[in-house]
Amino acid sequence: MSLTSLIALIKLNDPDAEPLTADETCEWVRSRFAIVGRISIETKVSPSELKDLTEQRTARAYAALDQLSDNELSFADLWNLLLVVAVPWTRREARSLTEIDNLLASTATDTSGSRKIILWKDSSLEKQLGDFEHSENAATALSGDPLRDSVIQMAQNEEERAALEALFKRRIQDEDVDELIRVLGIRMTK
């Protein structure tokens, strides 16, 4: 996939998507489900070269975002970044190359800066992200939410769950705090 096809692909599924920034090694696109970036390793390289290239291109992609103004990319947007790392190996090939496989697995699980997805040579972005063109929701989580899951498990009833959901709002209102105190106060008096 060429860099220009990232915006083309996303625009097919999200007509309101807009390019944020691009250069010869990376591209970032704002869409309804995430701010998606893409870097690419074009040729098969040794494990040490792969590590260096991935680190350099990832750093350059983040540096491109750093150049954007607050109007183009807000602090809140930074929580919704997804970096696609396109590689020249198929999943099967990578599995047979232990060092390459381990490096790419490490890259995919490294959430510093953003979430990351490895885009295999024999895959497509649509396959990796699912069929977002036909999704009913504007966005679906690409990873779990362990904090929310823990809070929900700790709640003793539906009323507590509903009150605790306020903790996940972007801005907690006074009435949310009052409801938390009321609901959790009931627990304390029991």
**Same domain membership, residue 154 and residue 90:** no
Q: What is the pLDDT of residues 24-49, one digit of tens each?
A: 889 999 988 789 999 999 999 999 99
pLDDT, residue 171, reads 72
Burial bucket for residue 190 (CB in 10 Å: 0-12, 13-18, 19+): exposed
* Residue 93 CB neighbour total at 10 angstroms: 16
Domain assignment present for 170: yes
Other CB atoms within a 10 A radius of the CB of residue 13 amount to: 18
Per the structure, the complete domain to which residue 151 belongs is given by: 146-189
The pLDDT of residue 190: 64
| 15 in a structural domain | yes
Domain boundary residue, one of 110, 134, 158: 134
> Order of strands across the sheet with 81-86?
18-22, 26-30, 35-40, 81-86, 115-119
pLDDT at residue 86 tops 60: yes
Q: How many domains does the chain have?
A: 2
Residue 115: name the closest of 135, 130, 101, 129 by CA: 129
* Residue 152 to residues 146, 161, 164, Cα–Cα distance (Å): 10, 6, 8
Question: Are 118 and 152 part of one and the same domain?
Answer: no
Asked whether residue 74 falls in the same domain as residue 150, the answer is no
Same-domain pairing of 96 and 168? no
Query: How many helices and strands (H and E) does the chain possess?
Result: 8, 5
Both 106 and 157 in one domain: the answer is no
Question: Do 35 and 127 belong together in one domain?
Answer: yes
**For a pLDDT cut of 70, what percent of the chain falls above it?**
83
pLDDT in tens, 126-182: 776 654 444 444 444 444 566 667 777 778 888 888 888 777 776 778 888 888 888
CATH number of residue 112's parent domain: 3.40.1350
Residues 107, 48 within the same domain: yes
* Residues 26, 103 share a domain: yes
User: Does 127 reside within a domain?
Assistant: yes
Question: In this structure, are 81 and 163 located in the same domain?
Answer: no
DSSP bridge pairs for 18: 30
Q: Which residues contact 152 (CB under 8 A, 6 or more apart)?
A: 161, 164
Angle of CA points 82, 125, 10, to nearest 5°: 75
Q: Quick one: which H or E segment has residue 38?
A: strand 35-40
In this prediction, residues 61-71 reach a mean pLDDT of 91
